[in-house]
Chains A and B, each alone.
Chain A
Amino acid sequence: MDKVIKLTKIFLKNSFSNMDARMGISTKSKSKIIVYGLLFLYFAGLIIFLGYNLLDGLIAIHQETIFVGMILFMIFGLGIIQTIFSSINILYFTKDSEYLLPLPLKPYQIILARTNVMLIAEYVIIFLIGFIPLVMYGILTGAGIVYYLTMILAVILVPILPVLLISMLVMFIMSFAKLTKNRNRFQLFATLLVLAIIIALSISTSGMKQDLTNEEMAQMVVQANGMIELVKGYVPTVDYLMEALTTNSLFTAIVEVLKTLGITIVGFILYMLIAQKIYFKGLVGNLFGGGASNTNKEINQKEYRNSKLYKSYVGKEFKNMARNPVFLMQCLIPAVLIPIIMVVVVYAGLNSDGMGLEQITQMVQQTPTNTFFIACIILGVIQFFTMFIYISITAISRDGENAVFMKYIPVSLYKQYLYKIIPNIIMNIVTIIITLGMAEYLLNLPVITLIELFIVATIMGILQSIAMIIVDLKRPKLNWDSEYAVAKQNLNLVFPVLLSIVNIVILVGFVYLLKDINVYVGVGILGILYIVATVITNKYLYNKQYELADKII
């Protein structure tokens, strides 16, 4: 067991090495801890706010127990989604596997340590989305000590089964299918599956509204209850824990927790037995599987055509992202997916109100839309959407140890930085066009306003892209063992959120200060402000191009 704990620690240290270094004791690190602490508080606050509203409504109609079911299912569902992405990388594509196999370790020790890493990653998120709401439930319903003890056990137990199930599924596929040599296809499949789930969820939840009457709430509760009833037949642990958390009887709570524990232990034993049989077969096949086959495919003459350096460089960046499912999901897809999800949500939301788009458009046409206020809301929405495009913030880190390439080729560093942020600007423009298209459809804005908004939003995107590559240059994460470490376990990803918060606060401030200003003048002033900020940031990037590359070694 001692070896399992040591291995787990090493795996964790390896994947969070940069984070460890940052969490040192220097004052600089302390300030970072404060920033992350504040962000944590921000998200925790958001979850408390949303959770409170929902729970308050449910308590009013004495249906608060549904809240517990929803949270438990959310933990379970998140466990599945997160493990789909992490398991393939953690189990099969971390570089350390090759060095691990010759060591005198027992198979179960390696499997357990790998599983621990997946579970720990799970618990970090669950603390936010599971633990906090369940504590809130306890406080608002005046629950006793038994509830809190059961709740802690629930939060620990619920994510275990999804992690074991998905890992086992992945091991099963990897052990016999030739997918080992085709990690990309596997990950792409997983990506598409998750996208489908996200879109389905957004459609199914899009009918929810903020101010519900008791009747509407009751109707929703019946639907939610029906859904939980339907699903819990397949997920007995959630069913038992829901019962344990909502019962008044201590005896029932103990029995239900013991049932959950029993199922989890049986699941764990089965997992270990099966994993020991199939995991290493797939792992060895993946590590030492044969080399590339001769394709003998003639090279198309077009391939030899030379192109401008910027085209070639930007093309290389796009190819690197598009051919890598993790980067594809984190960098390129959000530009299209997030606005589309919003379209679906808004459309379904309108329909659920018994209102067609035509009525809405008619209603909108009767009120003035071509105002500075509306323009700022649109810019805020665009800012919110583009926050999820992680191209610039990972521009250097994505190259990993190869990033030194930038420093020995005869191309200026500044130019290379620009080539690296062009994909971010392009994807921002995609988001801007989709969002403005939606705005135009709903609000029927004059063309001049649309053009002005497009220009200002594009400048905002350029500013954001330059600022984020500076962050990545200052804090690059180059020593990663799987793409997942760059696109997910990267603390730099909080910076786009921070910048967006600042930007949205600025927009709110402008709306407050320049309430009655003409829309063209107001947006024009904003545009000038962003141009000035962009020029200053760009000047900084240019002047400091060499110093900024100091950490790339």
Chain B
Amino acid sequence: MIEIKNVSKSYVKGKKSVDDLNLEIKNGEIFGFLGPNGAGKTTTIRMITGILNMDEGDILIDGKSIKKEPLAAKKNFGFVPDSPDMFLKLKGIEYLMFMADVYDVPQNKRKEKIEELTKKFEIYNQLNNQIQSYSHGMRQKIVICGALLSEPKNWILDEPMTGLDPKSSYDLKEMMREHAKSGKTVFFSTHILEVAEKLCDRVGIINKGKLVFVGTFEEMKQKFKENASLEDLFLEITEK
């Protein structure tokens, strides 16, 4: 469960990039975070994950404050950043083992989990190669594998579908559904409205730092124009 309470952040004095954000992502829920470029999505994700400090408010991951108990809070999520160009000089297997050491994955689970994830994403045969030789999509896959290795209760994913081929994208979405079904949380940002509509239990739309809508797509349609397309609804909400 992720709780965002009265969170604000300014990069420039007098101009809030995120303004008094309140959000609760419940267990068993897939939550899509939408918004135009520069709306505050990445800033919010960076505050949830502890990369950025917030000016006001607090964020709790399974009840642990990222501000007051950062290490305990960080143990409760797995994060996939927007850029997968990480540790390019390491071999795939070295990267995954490093992540396993960082997140204390037990010895007896490592092999099983690495094989399961990498075979699902069809990169098992590449694990002995340096990540720098991987394509963009393969890099995205190895980063996702690294984040999910420790079976974190909360998944936080920044634009996770970018660069993935259709099959991997489908697999990831299935995994997200299974994860939520088992009572855990998925929070992800995306630009692809169709993905959000088909996958998410609820969505939040942020615009100019303010949360302008939270709810299901049905609620969005009821609140705005019933017959409008998803794209029209999004544009109406964010251009108001």
Binding site for B on A (CB under 8 A): 181, 291-292, 294-297, 299, 301, 303-309, 312-313, 316, 319-320, 323-324, 401-402, 404-405, 407-412, 546, 550, 552-553
Contacts and interface: CB of A to CB of B under 8 A. Distances in A.
A312 B128 contact: no
Contacts of A553: 46, 51-52
Contact of B126 (A292, A303, A405): A292
Interface residues of B, number: 42
B53 A550 contact: yes
A309 B99 CA distance: 10
Nearest to B66: A408
Contacts of B110: 304, 306
A394 to B, nearest CB: 14
Contact of B71 (A295, A320, A411, A552): A411
Contacts of A294: 125-126
Given A295-B126, A299-B93, A306 B134 contact: no
B97 A409 contact: no
Identify which of B105, B114, B128 gathers the most chain A CB atoms within 10 Å of its CB.
B128
A291 B138 contact: yes
A319 B88 CA distance: 11
Given A292-B133, A404-B51, A309 B102 contact: yes
B100 interface: yes
Contact of B87 (A304, A309, A320, A412): A320
Nearest to A321: B89
13 contacts: A292-B135, A292-B138, A294-B125, A303-B93, A304-B110, A316-B94, A319-B89, A319-B90, A324-B89, A401-B85, A404-B81, A408-B51, A411-B71
Contacts of B51: 404, 407-408, 552-553
A138 to B, nearest CB: 49
Interface string B120-141: 0000011111100111001000
A408 B128 contact: no
Given A306-B107, A407-B50, 10 more contacts: A295-B128, A303-B97, A306-B106, A401-B83, A402-B86, A404-B46, A404-B81, A405-B86, A550-B53, A553-B51
Contacts of B128: 295, 297, 299
B87 A316 contact: yes
Nearest to A323: B89
A402 B51 CA distance: 11
Contacts of B135: 291-292
A402 B105 CA distance: 22
A117 to B, nearest CB: 23
A309 B100 CA distance: 9
B138 A408 contact: no
Interface in B210-225: none
A303 B83 CA distance: 26
Contacts of A401: 83, 85
Contact of B85 (A301, A308, A402): A402
Contacts of B170: none
A327 to B, nearest CB: 9
Interface string B175-206: 00000000000000000000000000000000
A115 to B, nearest CB: 27
B111 interface: yes
A297 B128 CA distance: 7
A62 to B, nearest CB: 56
Contacts of B75: 410
B79 interface: yes
B234 interface: no
Nearest to A320: B89
A295 B129 contact: yes
B149 to A, nearest CB: 12
B79 A316 contact: no
A-B pairs with lowest CB-CB distance, top 3: A410-B74, A312-B101, A292-B133
A323 to B, nearest CB: 4
A299 B125 CA distance: 9
A549 B200 CA distance: 34
Of the candidates A313, A319, A408, the one having the most CB atoms from chain B within 10 angstroms of its own CB is A408
